[in-house]
Chains A and B, each alone.
Chain A
Amino acid sequence: MLTSVWRWLTDGGHWQGETGITHRLLEHLQYSGESLLIAALIALPIGALIGHTGKGKWIIAVANAFRAIPSLGLLFVVAMWFVSRLTGDSAYLVPTIIVLVILAIPPLLAGAYSGVSEVDPAARDAAYGMGMSGRQVLANVEVPCALPLIFSGVRSAALQIIATATIAAAISVGGLGRYLIDGLANSDYAQMAGGAILVTALALLVDGVLAVIQQLTVPGGLRTTSVSRRKQRAAAAAVESAHAA
């Protein structure tokens, strides 16, 4: 079984053309990247603002409740609603992007909110004491200090998006999920497993790259003590464990 999967993956013909791995990989990255960007533009400012003001915490609770909705169900509901209203490729692409954005918002919100609200009160007070306005404190102190947790949310969101973009092949969009769905339809296990390996590799790679970026975003002043690092790790664990795939 392994050899047939290996043969499928290493067959040069499978990498070329409209249905080739290279093209499918780029499609997958494109949907995922666009959705992550849209979701981040919506969720990060709102999350940071809730953390800064302490108002509107119910939004976080509502977003977290959304995680209980099975992503497959959400995908089909949104796709069915759009299929009679849009034509051509966009009939499947638009609902896919919408679902990916919806699923990415809760972890992003949680990351930005807990990142900002858990900033050391002493640092916040010091900034106010130096005469900074609320906006300056948010932009120059709270957000930089919150970056590790914000990125923890971004990682969770990215993984959620890559996983769901795979399932989205069930509503006829491209991406690497096609190999899993088409392979199943044709009883071609080598193709399915090959696709699964590619998706897994993509998820691990994206998570690894984001993890490195996350490390680099830790502000210099926060890198010193092991106590604060342990605190951050515990907080990051809370955000990550709240993430449902």
Chain B
Amino acid sequence: MLSFIQDHWSDILSRAVEHAWLAGLPLVIGLLISLPLGWLARRASWLRVILVGGSSLLYTIPSLALFVLMPLIVKTNIVDPINVIIAMTIYTLALLVRTVADALGAVSEETTQAAIAMGYTPIRRFFGVELPLAVPVISAGLRVAAVSNVAIVSVAALLGIRQLGFYLTDGYQTTYWAEVWTGVVACLVLALIFDLVIQLITRLLTPWQKAAVS
């Protein structure tokens, strides 16, 4: 396996970058969309049923099927990486809308009341109080989504979309163990990097947590 990695180092790196885009960009888009949706889901219970129920319904669609169905919905070609980006955004949303709604719901009533008493407008309260306090829970959901995204993106190799999953399909077809293991390990390393980056950002965004521990 080491000699395979040495021989294909630049190819592995370029595929890893593409894999990171396909898994990471949907993570960012999904997070940005899930914040307002999660906030809306807290407003009324019927909105929660529609938003959380609807998004978790999307999560039940098997990944390969969702990739294949994309051209029907957005009129793309079956080998277009955009299909994977959109499909992964849908999965990210499915996980995060519920997480964001639960995280915002977990902010204590006293804290919200105090903010209102201090004269915070609803928008300032959301960005200044509720969202920062919800960061740890949202981050936990984001970590799950990140690891899951990295794993699911590799399935797109079956459709011939460039990323790390190629080593899995190619290695299997040629019964080349070193190549398959390279694919598995590369996916795991990428998932680990995503996880560490999210943890690091979370720590930077929530300095009070460290203070509480020490």
Chain A residues near B (Cβ < 8 Å): 1-2, 5, 67-74, 76-77, 79-80, 83, 159, 162-163, 166-167, 170-171, 177, 180-181, 184, 189, 192-193, 195-197, 199-200, 203-204, 207, 234, 237, 240-242, 244-245
Is the pair B65, A180 in contact by a Cβ cutoff of 8 Å? Answer: yes
Most buried by B among A171, A237, A242: A237
For B95, the chain A residues whose CB sits under 8 A away are 241
Choose from A79, A177, A181, A242 the contact partner of B172 (Cβ within 8 Å): A79
CA distance A192 to B78 in the complex (A): 10
CA distance A127 to B59 in the complex (A): 39
For B155, the chain A residues whose CB sits under 8 A away are 70-72, 167
Most buried by A among B68, B99, B102, B187: B68
Whether B86 is near chain A, meaning CB under 8 Å from some CB there, is no
Is the pair A80, B144 in contact by a Cβ cutoff of 8 Å? Answer: no
Q: Give, as a whole number of angstroms, the nearest-CB distance from A62 to chain B.
A: 14
For A184, the chain B residues whose CB sits under 8 A away are 78, 158-159
Knowing A167-B64, A184-B158, A200-B62, the reply to whether A70 touches B91 (Cβ < 8 A) is no
Is the pair B175, A73 in contact by a Cβ cutoff of 8 Å? Answer: no
Is the pair B154, A80 in contact by a Cβ cutoff of 8 Å? Answer: no
Is the pair A240, B148 in contact by a Cβ cutoff of 8 Å? Answer: no
Contacts A/B (CB < 8 Å), 26 sampled: A1-B72, A68-B151, A68-B188, A68-B191, A69-B184, A70-B150, A70-B187, A72-B169, A73-B165, A74-B184, A76-B168, A77-B180, A77-B181, A77-B184, A159-B59, A166-B65, A167-B64, A177-B64, A181-B158, A189-B78, A192-B78, A193-B69, A196-B66, A197-B69, A204-B57, A245-B62
For B175, the chain A residues whose CB sits under 8 A away are 80, 83
What 1/0 mask marks residues of chain B from 16 to 36 whose CB sits below 8 Å from any chain A CB? 000000000000000000000
Whether B71 is near chain A, meaning CB under 8 Å from some CB there, is yes
- A68-B191, A241-B99 provided; 6 other pairs, C-beta below 8 A? A73-B183, A76-B172, A80-B177, A159-B60, A181-B158, A244-B144
Q: Report the interface size for chain B: residues with CB under 8 A from the other chain.
A: 47
Within 8 A of A (CB), among B165-190: 165, 168-169, 171-172, 175, 177, 180-181, 183-184, 187-188
Whether B147 is near chain A, meaning CB under 8 Å from some CB there, is yes
Minimum-distance CB pairs A-B, first 7: A244-B148, A163-B62, A196-B65, A73-B184, A76-B172, A196-B68, A70-B154
Is the pair A203, B62 in contact by a Cβ cutoff of 8 Å? Answer: yes
Whether B112 is near chain A, meaning CB under 8 Å from some CB there, is no
Is the pair B147, A72 in contact by a Cβ cutoff of 8 Å? Answer: no
Number of A-B contacts (CB under 8 A): 144
For A68, the chain B residues whose CB sits under 8 A away are 147, 150-151, 188, 191-192
Q: Main secondary structure on chain B at its contact with chain A?
A: helix
Q: Give, as a whole number of angstroms, the nearest-CB distance from B211 to chain A.
A: 26
Choose from A170, A199, A242 the contact partner of B65 (Cβ within 8 Å): A199
For B98, the chain A residues whose CB sits under 8 A away are 237, 240-241
For A197, the chain B residues whose CB sits under 8 A away are 65, 69
Whether B141 is near chain A, meaning CB under 8 Å from some CB there, is yes
For A195, the chain B residues whose CB sits under 8 A away are 65, 68
What 1/0 mask marks residues of chain B from 49 to 79 whose CB sits below 8 Å from any chain A CB? 0000000110111111110110110000010
For B147, the chain A residues whose CB sits under 8 A away are 67-68, 244
Q: Give, as a whole number of angstroms, the nearest-CB distance from A89 to chain B.
A: 18
Knowing A162-B62, A199-B62, the reply to whether A234 touches B180 (Cβ < 8 A) is no
Within 8 A of A (CB), among B135-159: 141, 144, 147-148, 150-152, 154-155, 157-159
Q: Give, as a whole number of angstroms, the nearest-CB distance from B196 to chain A.
A: 13
For B192, the chain A residues whose CB sits under 8 A away are 68
CA distance A80 to B184 in the complex (A): 14
CA distance A74 to B159 in the complex (A): 18
For B64, the chain A residues whose CB sits under 8 A away are 163, 166-167, 177, 180, 196, 199
CA distance A203 to B66 in the complex (A): 12
CA distance A144 to B169 in the complex (A): 44
